[in-house]
Amino acid sequence: MTPAWIVCAWPPLLWQADCAPELHFVHLGTRVFNAGDSDHPCGQTVWGNPSADPAAGVAWDWVEVQEGVVAMADPMALVTNLQLTDARGTLLPSTQAALHLNGIVHALPWQSEVQRVLHRAAA
């Protein structure tokens, strides 16, 4: 699995925020950590387009809040090499960029991928 925090070491990629939905991310890996509480596992998941040059990626922590329900641990704590810009090419402040990145995450089937990994880990 690609380590979640390695994504920020990938070369930075400038991308216009309004075009961010055009990025086609695939699941690169999910790790499960029990952190002393096997009833509420947590972990990290990584998504990206590694076949593109340069590659774009985004990763975040997740937690199982109840059986069958996973959520982002902190929607403001996404790790990415994307540097989002406005239409004029000016970098967006981190809070605005987080809104666009969360839109990308929301469109991904990440919860089903995390659930698949959780079921495999339980077996």
Domain with 54, as residue range(s), is 4-122
pLDDT tens-digit series, residues 7-60: 888 899 999 998 877 788 999 999 998 755 667 899 999 999 877 788 899 999
With a cut of 70, say whether residue 1 has pLDDT above it: no
Q: pLDDT value at position 8?
A: 86
Q: pLDDT value at position 69?
A: 94
User: Rounded CA gap, 72 and 81, in Å?
Assistant: 19
User: Rounded CA gap, 40 and 14, in Å?
Assistant: 37
Asked if the peptide bond before residue 109 counts as cis, ω within 30 degrees of 0, the response is no
Q: pLDDT value at position 70?
A: 95
Task: Please state the domain count of the chain.
Answer: 1
pTM of the model: 0.89
60, 45 Cβ separation under 8 angstroms: yes
Residue that wins the pLDDT comparison between 38 and 118: 118
CATH (domain of 114): 3.10.450.610
